Every structure is written in C-alpha cells, then in structure tokens.
C-alpha cells in the first residue's frame, strides 16, 4: 500500500502565552528533580489525536485554527514552562526549565491528502507514515524546547493534533493534564478559569531527595563525576525501517475471562498467588507481554518487563495529583522465556507482575540508586516497557468538535514499548498500542485473537 503523501505546511506559527496577571504564581523557571533527571535525554513522547470533522480548508483556517491558537495562548498562561526550554547553560550547575519573555511554542499548521481513516484505524500501519503528522523538538547541546505541536487538516474529513514533549520536563500525567486544560479552554470560548483538577502545581519542595539521586542520574548522563559535559542532546533512537503500529482492544468481558482463567490455573497448578489484588492492569499487561514474547520469538533465559509507577500518591508525604513535572519511577519483573511461552504463560506473568506491584509497598524509591545501570545491563530485545495509562482519559480530550476518533502513541516505534489507553467508545475496555516489525505484527495479530478464545475456562482442558 502506498505511503501517504507528505503534508503541505500552511503556516509555521509561534504561539506565545497570554501575559499572566500581576498576581500570577506560575514560575518562570523550575529546577529539575531526580524524577526529571532520570529521563533527561530520552527521546520525546509523541502522540496523535485524530478528530473526525467535515471542515473544508477555508473553514479550518478561518475558524478552527484561530480558535486553537487563542485557547492555546490562554492555556499557556497557566503552563508557562511549556513555552520555555530545558537549559543547561554555563551559569547553572544543574539543568533547569526556563521561560523568558518572548519564548513561544512552535505550532505547525499543515494539510494532507493522506487517508485519514486508514491512519486513524486499528490495523497495523507503517510507522513511518505517522512521521508527517507529529512535530520534532529541535534540540541542541544546551537547550531543548519543552513542547512542540502540529495541527494537520485532512480536508472535509478531519484533522489531527500531534505533540512532542520533552520527557525530562514532564510525565504522561502532566502532559495529559495540559491537553485537557487546552481542550477545556477551547470549548468554553477562551476566557475562563481552569478548574482545580486542571490547575498545575509547581512546588518542587514536595519532592524530597535524601539520597541525592539527581546527582547520581546526572553523572550517568554526562559520564563524568565533574559534570563538565553538559550535553542535553536527546538520544537519537532510530525507527526500524519495517516498523508497524497497530491497536488492539481488550473488552471488559475479555479481561474478566482471562482473570477467571488465571485464577483457575493458579488453583490447578498450585501456583503461589501474589498477595496483591488481581487487577485489570495485571491481566492486560500479562496477556500483552506473553503475546509479544511469542510474536517476537524471544528465546532467552530471562525476559523482562518494566512497569512505570506514578509516585504522586505513593510518596511520604504524598504529592497532589496536579503536580507538574515527572513523578514516576519504574519497577521490573522477569521470568524465563520458556515459562512465559508455555501453556501457563499468562498465569505466570500475572503472578510475577502482581508480586512486583506488591513490592512497591516497601517504598517506591527503594533501591533506585542504580536504576539506570541495571536497566541498560539487560541485553537488547529482552526488556519490554509500557507507555501511557488508561487513567489518562485520552478520549475525553474534546476541543469542541467531539471526542477523538483515535489516539495514537507514535513514539513507541522507537522505544519498543506497548501503550495503554482508555477506549474510544467510553467503555471499560482498554486499547493496546503495539510497535513491531512486519513479520512479527502478523504473528501478534494471530496470537492475540486466538488467545482470547483459549484463555476461557470452558475451553480449558487439563
């Protein structure tokens, strides 16, 4: 199938924040915490929101784009750091996020004749096709923008909003709060006050770092104890030339069926149950992990799964959910690949994932000093990770033209993670985004579908 034609750029904009009121408490500079520093040079998070509308080009440029620009400017008044840069100038001993008057967010306005419905579908599509619709962060050794945006019209069919976010500046929860804030202001005509749950909290004193993890992580990135090499250049991960992106749905019925099957196998095989609750998250990640290891034909002594953990409610004292920045860490689990690909693979995966999550009760920051070194010591291709979360409510991001038809986390094509999100129909189902090579994608599609039938109690013969 032919790739979409490159987009036609209609306008390259610089959107400045509306000047804040004199009594504004939004800071113009923020120190990076150890949570931020951990992710300092990772490649940006990129995501696409597709909206189905019937706007011709003239209406799009005269009504939609001005409305998006105006509401973005107003939103940035509450999110000044997003118009700034992550900087590490010679005057600073550590990197910071800094906004100075005159800073703006890059907004590309474009038009494309690509097939909107194919791009916003679920079937596996070539990952390179999405590169036309997400912006890039133009980085340097000393300065990297926090955010870049692109709005692309598919005439008379729909439009997309794509973003690239510096992961060292904020995590998925903070990014989603910004998108919901922008949509909230856009739907209300602009001049309105954000609700408390959409108002970012910038208090860095909430993040306590008694072990000086920030310095530990900085030393890893520069490779020197003296911190002389202050490069902020982002890691340039390459997308495999045959990478494919696909989306799969686990309905609530699917999840409950697999959950019952797992409990049944635990009882039948007398597997020691983890003390943690067998949650939907555990089931979804276990099932996806097993399908991916089988599809990729990973044959290794151990395979690993990294799980991102939102620390806001797990720290002592806890951090409010509106905290702006990164407040995530990771926990990992592993299992022999032969066990994972055997008949009890999903049950075993659910057990070890549940145990890893249960272990967080001992402290989410326990043994995090060597977190990076332990992660990079894992051989290539044996570590899978997770991007996004169903709790982010991507499909509630309504700018006034309805809910998104599709939300696609495109950056998994570089990281090899699989993504999780809420479902577009508003049900309790979960959408799973997958990035695989072409031959692996065909295997995964078959394994995912057949597994939903085999992981049902009435089809289990033991």
Mean pLDDT of 429-450: 96
Q: Is the pLDDT of residue 459 over 70?
A: no
**Beta carbons of 120 and 405 less than 8 angstroms apart:** yes
Q: What is the pLDDT, as a whole number, of residue 270? A: 67
pLDDT at 190 over 90: no
What percentage of residues in the chain have a pLDDT greater than 70? Answer: 93
DSSP letters, 258-314, are HHHHHHHHHHHHTPPPPSS---HHHHHHHHHHHHHHHHTT--SS-EEEEEEEE-TTT
Whole-number pLDDT of residue 384: 92
Structure letter (DSSP) for residue 201 = B
- Over residues 267-277, the pLDDT tens digits come to 887 666 655 67
Tens of pLDDT along 45-75? 999 999 999 999 999 999 999 999 999 999 9
Is pLDDT at 376 greater than 60 in this prediction? Answer: yes
CATH number, domain 243-459, options 3.30.559.10, 3.40.1280.10, 1.10.10.10, 3.30.420.40: 3.30.559.10
User: With pLDDT > 90 as the criterion, what percentage of the chain qualifies?
Assistant: 72
Residue 375 has pLDDT above 60, yes or no: yes
Give catalytic status of residue 167 as yes or no: yes
pLDDT value of position 251: 96
Task: Please give the Cα distance from 129 to 267 (Å, whole number).
Answer: 46
**Domain locations in the chain as residue ranges:** 8-222, 243-459
**Per-residue pLDDT tens for 382-415?**
899 999 999 999 999 999 999 999 999 999 998 8
Asked whether this chain's domains 8-222 and 243-459 adopt the same fold, the reply is yes
180 is catalytic: no
pLDDT tens sequence across 318-343 = 999 999 999 998 888 999 999 999 99
**Least reliable range by pLDDT among 152-161, 162-171, 276-285:** 276-285
pLDDT, tens digit, 9 for 90 and up, residues 9-39: 999 999 999 998 888 899 999 999 999 999 9
Say which of 167, 171, 344, 455 is annotated catalytic. Answer: 167
pLDDT of residue 462 exceeding 60, the answer is no
Nearest CA among 102, 132, 167, 138 for reference residue 325: 167
For residue 368, the model assigns a pLDDT of 67
d(CA 264, CA 268): 6
C-alpha pair distances (Å), 60 with each of 5, 110, 277, 407: 20, 11, 48, 20
Distances, alpha carbon 161 to alpha carbons 69, 151, 154, 273, 405, in Å: 12, 5, 11, 44, 12
Q: What is the mean pLDDT of residues 241-264?
A: 95
- Catalytic, out of 209, 242, 393, 398: 398
What is the band of 188 on the pLDDT scale with cuts at 50, 70, 90?
very high
Structure tokens at 224: 């020197």
- CATH superfamily assigned to domain 8-222: Chloramphenicol acetyltransferase-like domain (3.30.559.10)
Q: What is the mean pLDDT of the chain?
A: 90
381 has pLDDT over 90? no
Cα Rg, the chain, nearest whole Å: 22
Q: Is residue 228 pLDDT above 70, yes or no?
A: no
What is the mean predicted confidence (pLDDT) over 339-366?
89
């Amino acid at each position: 199938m032919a790739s979409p034609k490159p987009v036609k750029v209609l306008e390259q904009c610089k959107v400045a924040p509306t000047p804040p009121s004199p009594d504004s408490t939004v800071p113009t500079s923020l120190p990076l915490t150890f949570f931020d520093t951990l992710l300092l040079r990772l490649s940006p998070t990129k995501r696409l929101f597709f909206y189905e509308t019937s706007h011709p080009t003239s209406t799009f440029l005269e009504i939609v784009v001005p409305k998006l620009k105006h509401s973005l400017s107003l939103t940035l008044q509450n999110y000044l750091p997003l118009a700034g840069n992550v900087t590490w100038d010679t005057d600073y001993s550590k990197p910071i996020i800094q906004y100075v008057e005159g800073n703006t967010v890059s907004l590309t306005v474009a038009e494309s004749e690509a097939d909107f419905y194919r791009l916003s579908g679920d079937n596996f599509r070539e990952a390179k096709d999405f590169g036309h619709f997400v912006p890039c962060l133009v980085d340097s050794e000393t300065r990297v923008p926090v955010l870049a945006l692109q709005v692309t019209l598919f005439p008379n069919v729909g439009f997309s909003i794509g973003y690239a976010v510096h992961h060292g500046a904020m995590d998925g929860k903070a990014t989603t709060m910004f998108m919901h804030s922008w949509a909230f202001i856009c739907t209300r005509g602009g001049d309105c006050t954000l609700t408390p749950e959409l108002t970012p909290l910038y208090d860095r004193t909430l993040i306590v770092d008694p072990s000086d993890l920030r310095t530990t992580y900085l030393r890893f990135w520069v490779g020197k104890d003296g911190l002389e090499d202050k490069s902020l250049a982002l890691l340039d991960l390459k997308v495999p030339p045959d990478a494919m992106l696909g989306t799969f749905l686990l309905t609530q019925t699917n999840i409950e069926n697999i959950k019952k099957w797992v409990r049944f196998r635990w009882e039948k095989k007398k597997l020691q149950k983890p003390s943690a609750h067998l949650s939907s998250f555990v089931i979804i990640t276990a099932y996806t992990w097993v399908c991916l290891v089988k599809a990729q034909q990973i044959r290794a002594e151990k395979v690993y799964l990294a799980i991102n953990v939102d620390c806001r409610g797990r720290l002592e004292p806890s951090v409010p959910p509106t905290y702006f920045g990164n407040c995530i860490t990771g926990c990992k689990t592993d299992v022999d690949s032969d066990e994972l690909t055997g008949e009890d693979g999903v049950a075993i995966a659910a057990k070890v994932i549940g145990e890893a999550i249960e272990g967080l009760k001992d402290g989410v920051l326990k043994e995090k000093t060597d977190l990076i070194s332990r992660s990079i010591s894992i051989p290539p291709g044996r570590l899978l990770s997770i991007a996004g979360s169903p709790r982010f409510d991507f499909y509630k991001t309504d700018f006034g033209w309805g809910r998104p038809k599709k939300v696609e986390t495109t950056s998994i094509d570089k990281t090899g993670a699989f993504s999780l999100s809420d479902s577009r129909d508003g049900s309790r189902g979960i959408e799973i985004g997958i990035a695989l090579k072409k031959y692996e994608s065909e295997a995964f599609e078959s394994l995912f579908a057949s597994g939903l039938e085999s992981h049902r109690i009435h089809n289990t013969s033991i």
